[in-house]
Chains A and B, each alone.
Chain A
């Protein structure tokens, strides 16, 4: 079965623009987690979607938003981009649907804001 897929691989945007990142979870998995991995800060939890609903969000401003589609793929939108938004954005799904056993991650989208 295909793993978690993310697109695009790389994205370069100008400060103030909007970025859209996409994720497809493992087939049959309904939960999608988004994490930001900025240099020196480790993986920071951004958003959790399950069954089409936002279930939890991390300590990020409202310009970070997203949605989950009926096929459980997900989109992360970052508005009014700032230089410090430059990071690797990772999408993940639980290895076991009920959780507690870790995640499978995609390869990430590297966002560079210039």
Chain B
């Protein structure tokens, strides 16, 4: 079993839709959870950061972590064509431990 599993998609939605992206993980030591957005031919950029379980909201984006189920989610409300990108989940045990990434989900938002 891989440490982090993420459905690669692709996922195609109409503009204005609510998008749900998910990752599961197996390492119970993970405490820090992140979502990155990566546009084509660019490096990933940090979108959301969450520590331990709970929800975090930033504008149209909401990140959820359920440590009991080892499951994290990213919701995008009122999706826009500019949200079209690959979304990567990432997690670590904290400190100087390396980030472990999912493979990424490619999202296309159609006007």
Contact = CB atoms under 8 A, between A and B. Distances in A.
A42 B46 contact: no
Given A45-B100, A50-B96, A102 B41 contact: no
Contacts of A50: 96
Interface residues of A, number: 30
A55 B88 CA distance: 25
A107 B44 CA distance: 8
B46 A95 contact: yes
A56 B97 CA distance: 9
A41 B103 CA distance: 6
A58 B101 CA distance: 13
Contacts of A108: 42-43
A40 B98 contact: no
Contact of B88 (A43, A45, A98): A43
Nearest to A46: B98
What class of interface size applies to chain B in its complex with A? 20 to 34
B34 A31 contact: no
B32 interface: yes
B95 interface: yes
A22 interface: no
B1 to A, nearest CB: 15
A47 to B, nearest CB: 10
A33 B98 contact: yes
A100 B95 contact: yes
A99 B41 contact: no
Contact of B98 (A41, A45, A90, A95): A45
Contacts of B98: 33, 45, 48, 56, 58
A75 B76 CA distance: 37
Interface of B: 6, 8, 31-32, 34, 36, 41-46, 49, 51, 88, 90, 92, 94-104
Interface of A: 4, 31, 33, 35, 40-43, 45, 48, 50, 55-56, 58, 90, 92, 94-95, 98-108, 110
8 contacts: A42-B101, A42-B102, A43-B101, A90-B44, A99-B92, A100-B51, A102-B46, A105-B45
